[in-house]
């Protein structure tokens, strides 16, 4: 059967799904994969839950493996899903599972309660089921005799030689029946006699096994657990409130076969079975709420993950994308290196300054000589290189005009960066440190409040460093991110709109700050590296920035090439399953 395997969570999805049913990730472009069992390790062995009974609720599937559960002395179920696992492997239970088990033992929530219910059901099935078999021994013998008597006149009909043992006989429909097991209609008695069981088969005493064998439902190769599993299949078939999946998608094939086989039994035998079974089964039935069922499914999935190898999607491509990536990276690094160290004066083009950049230069040029300006450092050390180039034209202009500079920081490294940056402007730009504000919004709000009121609370102690109450002629925000600059713009626009505000921002912050330039909330700003290079060119400093500008052009062109080539030569993705989670 073909599936779409979610590239995010590895869940199986039907072919028609566009989004993963589990994590909602897009399945567009994901190729369908068949789920063939690998030659050396059949899929049923990897994950018995998925292989043939995926329509059943996980809880009931878990219950079916009653022989794999043992009651641990501490009262917790020790789950062995992999019969081949050694003791050493069982000891290496992951911490998360230990935590789940511990929680189930100690806590009273629904998950713990659910596990206890499962546990009690396990015990109940183990003990009562065994007792039933013993009690029914004579009754089963009677049934056998009756069946022999009815079939005495007709010869045994051997199974067609070419038919695989697991296939249902021709008399059993392969398609799911719309009828539920609760309302069986009378059918013709089965004409074929039950084959004599082999004396050495351990499940011979189990009447359900025999019924299933008679109809080709059960594989004779099944181990000793087949009997108890089939008992639980009956539980599934007789469930009063079948899970929603069954209501919507129909019963699983095996359950259908059991149900159909049940209907094909003589009416009186069916009635006897029902009468004999129903009172015994009632105490074992679990009544689960929807929430509990979901939690059980989750728990079951987690447990199944512990040791069972599951195929999950791993993207791979027809062309080695990693090699293409590496090739582009090498081209990028080599191009930048050549542009930086090759020397020469050539570059592709000289940028033009933006309107905001020109406006800020003009505003600085118009400041009075005794103006006081507050610089707010709101960028991280990673952006120091770009910010130095973005700020250089404006700070040089300020130094030339002899403007009084004060500095506040809303980034932790702001005081250090301010010191390093201003020391490199001309002969060093003198400034007064006005402190550090651990949250940009508080710093901006405090500054705006100080500017608006111009005083601190009367009768209160004056902070030594703290309130940015001052009569500034303007503010310059040096920011590496849109959010940082936006905080300052918002607070100052809201509380002190008459204070001129300029922005020196990195290339990444510039696009989303454009609306503030456009609305007039900001008098101007140098937005990004190309703007800085353009302004440096106007100041006659092109030669200083040329090597890096050339390297930037090379890198930018490689990005454009990558975008276009990536679109033109899009390799079709294919998914191949890889195993994960096995030990």
CA distance 437 to 434: 10
Q: Does 446 bind other proteins (CB under 8 A)?
A: yes
Q: Does 432 bind other proteins (CB under 8 A)?
A: no
CA distance 57 to 39: 28
Q: Looking only at residues 386 through 405 of this chain, which bind other proteins when binding is defined by CB under 8 A?
A: 386
Exactly one of 57, 122, 410, 553 binds other proteins (CB under 8 A); that residue is 553
- In 72-184, beta strands by DSSP E: 77-79
Q: Does 353 bind other proteins (CB under 8 A)?
A: no
User: Which residue, 73 or 459, is less far from other proteins as judged by CB?
Assistant: 459
User: Which residue, 390 or 405, is less far from other proteins as judged by CB?
Assistant: 390
Q: Does 320 bind other proteins (CB under 8 A)?
A: no
Q: Does 420 bind other proteins (CB under 8 A)?
A: yes
Q: Which residues of 475-514 are buried (b: 16+ CB within 10 A; e: fewer)?
A: bbbbbbbbebbbbbbbbbbebbeebbbbbbbbbebbeebe
Exactly one of 548, 577, 579, 581 binds other proteins (CB under 8 A); that residue is 548
Q: Does 431 bind other proteins (CB under 8 A)?
A: no
**Minimum distance from residue 437 beta carbon to other proteins (Å):** 7
Q: Does 3 bind other proteins (CB under 8 A)?
A: no
Q: Looking only at residues 366 through 385 of this chain, which bind other proteins when binding is defined by CB under 8 A?
A: 380-385
Rounded to the nearest 5 percent, the helix, strand and coil shares of the chain are: 50, 10, 40
Q: Does 567 bind other proteins (CB under 8 A)?
A: yes
Q: Does 119 bind other proteins (CB under 8 A)?
A: no
Q: Does 346 bind other proteins (CB under 8 A)?
A: no
Q: What 3 state SS string does 294-347 have?
A: HHHHHHHHHHHHHHCCEEEEEEEECCCHHHHHHHHHHHHHHHHHHHHHCCCCCC
Calculate the alpha carbon distances from 563 to 505, 541, 556, 558, 572 in Å: 25, 32, 11, 9, 16
Q: Quote the crossing angle between the two packed helices 384-401 and 414-423, to the nearest 10°.
A: 60
CA distance 474 to 497: 11
Query: Which residues are registered as beta bridge partners of 311?
Result: 579
User: Which residue, 1 or 329, is less far from other proteins as judged by CB?
Assistant: 329
**Minimum distance from residue 92 beta carbon to other proteins (Å):** 15
CA distance 125 to 228: 9
Q: Does 359 bind other proteins (CB under 8 A)?
A: no
Structural contact between residues 223 and 216, judged by C-beta atoms closer than 8 angstroms: no
Number of H helices, E strands in the chain: 22, 13
User: Which residue, 397 or 435, is less far from other proteins as judged by CB?
Assistant: 435
Q: Does 277 bind other proteins (CB under 8 A)?
A: no
User: Which residue, 261 or 414, is less far from other proteins as judged by CB?
Assistant: 414
Cα 12 to chain centroid distance, Å, stands at 14
Q: Does 289 bind other proteins (CB under 8 A)?
A: no
Q: Rounded to the nearest 5 degrees, what angle is found at the Cα of 105, between the Cα atoms of 102 and 106?
A: 85
Closest CA to 390 of 356, 363, 366: 356
Structural contact between residues 6 and 313, judged by C-beta atoms closer than 8 angstroms: yes
Size of the site for other proteins (CB under 8 A): 108
Q: Does 24 bind other proteins (CB under 8 A)?
A: yes
Binding-residue pattern over the window 322 to 341 for other proteins, x denoting contact by CB under 8 A = --xx--xx--xx--xx--xx
Exactly one of 124, 141, 453, 576 binds other proteins (CB under 8 A); that residue is 453
504 sits in which H/E element: strand 501-505
**Minimum distance from residue 353 beta carbon to other proteins (Å):** 11
Q: Considering only the stretches 41-49, 75-83, 98-106, 342-350, report the one whose residues sit in contact with other proteins under the rule CB under 8 A.
A: 342-350
Q: Looking only at residues 487 through 526 of this chain, which bind other proteins when binding is defined by CB under 8 A?
A: 487, 489-495, 506-512, 514-515, 518-521
Q: Does 99 bind other proteins (CB under 8 A)?
A: no
**Minimum distance from residue 572 beta carbon to other proteins (Å):** 8
User: Which residue, 132 or 514, is less far from other proteins as judged by CB?
Assistant: 514
**Minimum distance from residue 242 beta carbon to other proteins (Å):** 21
Q: Considering only the stretches 66-74, 140-148, 296-304, 444-452, report the one whose residues sit in contact with other proteins under the rule CB under 8 A.
A: 444-452
Tell me the backbone φ, ψ of residue 409, rounded to 5 degrees: -130, 135
Q: Say if residue 212 is exposed, middle or buried (CB neighbours under 10 Å; 0-12, 13-18, 19+).
A: buried
Exactly one of 528, 535, 536, 575 binds other proteins (CB under 8 A); that residue is 528
User: Which residue, 72 or 98, is less far from other proteins as judged by CB?
Assistant: 98
Binding-residue pattern over the window 38 to 77 for other proteins, x denoting contact by CB under 8 A = ----------------------------------------
Structural contact between residues 463 and 429, judged by C-beta atoms closer than 8 angstroms: no
Q: Does 344 bind other proteins (CB under 8 A)?
A: no
User: Which residue, 428 or 571, is less far from other proteins as judged by CB?
Assistant: 571
């Amino acid at each position: 059967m073909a599936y779409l395997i979610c590239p995010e969570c590895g869940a199986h999805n039907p072919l028609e799904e566009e989004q993963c049913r589990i994590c909602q990730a897009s399945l567009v472009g994901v190729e369908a994969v068949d789920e063939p069992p690998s030659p050396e390790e059949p899929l049923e062995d990897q994950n018995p839950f998925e292989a043939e009974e995926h329509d059943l609720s996980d809880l009931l599937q878990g219950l079916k493996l009653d022989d794999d559960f043992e009651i641990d002395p501490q009262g917790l179920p020790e789950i062995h899903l992999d019969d081949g696992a050694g003791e050493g492997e069982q000891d290496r239970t992951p911490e998360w599972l230990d935590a789940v088990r511990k929680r189930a033992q100690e806590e009273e929530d629904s998950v713990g309660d659910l596990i206890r219910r499962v546990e009690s059901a396990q015990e109940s099935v183990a003990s009562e089921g065994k007792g039933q078999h013993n009690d029914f021994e004579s009754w089963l013998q009677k049934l056998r005799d009756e069946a022999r008597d009815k079939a005495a006149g007709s010869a045994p009909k051997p199974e067609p030689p070419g038919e695989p043992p697991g296939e249902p006989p021709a008399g059993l429909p392969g398609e799911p029946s719309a009828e539920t097991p609760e309302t069986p209609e009378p059918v013709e008695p089965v004409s074929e006699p039950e084959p004599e069981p082999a004396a050495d088969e351990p499940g011979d005493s189990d009447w359900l096994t025999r019924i299933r064998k008679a109809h080709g439902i059960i594989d004779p190769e099944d181990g000793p657990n087949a009997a108890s599993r089939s008992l639980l299949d009956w539980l599934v078939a007789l469930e009063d409130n079948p899970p929603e999946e069954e209501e919507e998608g129909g019963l699983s094939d095996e359950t259908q076969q059991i149900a159909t086989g049940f209907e094909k039994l003589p009416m009186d035998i069916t009635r006897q079975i029902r009468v004999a079974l129903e009172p015994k089964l009632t105490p074992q039935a679990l009544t689960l709420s929807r929430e509990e069922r979901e939690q059980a499914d989750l728990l079951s999935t987690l447990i199944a993950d512990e040791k069972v190898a599951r195929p999950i999607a791993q993207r791979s491509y027809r062309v080695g994308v990693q090699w293409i990536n590496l090739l582009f990276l090498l081209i990028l690094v080599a191009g930048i290196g050549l542009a930086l160290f090759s020397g020469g004066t050539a570059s592709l083009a000289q940028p033009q300054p933006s309107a905001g950049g020109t406006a800020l230069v003009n505003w600085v040029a118009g400041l009075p000589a005794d103006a006081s300006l507050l610089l707010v450092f709101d960028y991280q050390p990673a952006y120091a290189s770009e910010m130095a180039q973005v700020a250089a034209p404006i700070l040089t202009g300020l130094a030339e005009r002899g403007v009084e500079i004060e500095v506040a920081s809303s980034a932790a490294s702001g005081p250090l960066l301010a010191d390093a940056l201003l020391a490199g402007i001309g002969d060093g730009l003198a400034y007064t440190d006005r402190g550090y504000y651990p949250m940009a919004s508080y710093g901006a709000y405090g500054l705006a409040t100080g500017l608006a009121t111009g005083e601190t609370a009367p009768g209160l102690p004056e902070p030594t460093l703290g309130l940015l109450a001052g009569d500034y002629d303007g503010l310059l925000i040096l920011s590496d991110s849109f959010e940082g600059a936006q905080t300052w713009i918002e607070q100052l626009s809201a509380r002190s709109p008459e204070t001129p505000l300029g922005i020196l921002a990195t290339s990444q912050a510039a696009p989303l700050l454009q609306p503030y330039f456009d609305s007039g909330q900001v008098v101007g700003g140098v937005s990004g590296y190309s703007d800085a290079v353009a302004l440096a060119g106007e100041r006659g400093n092109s030669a200083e920035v040329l090597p890096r500008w050339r390297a930037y052009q090379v890198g930018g062109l490689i990005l454009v090439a990558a975008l276009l080539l990536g679109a033109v030569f899009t390799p079709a993705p294919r998914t191949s399953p890889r195993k994960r989670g096995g030990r």
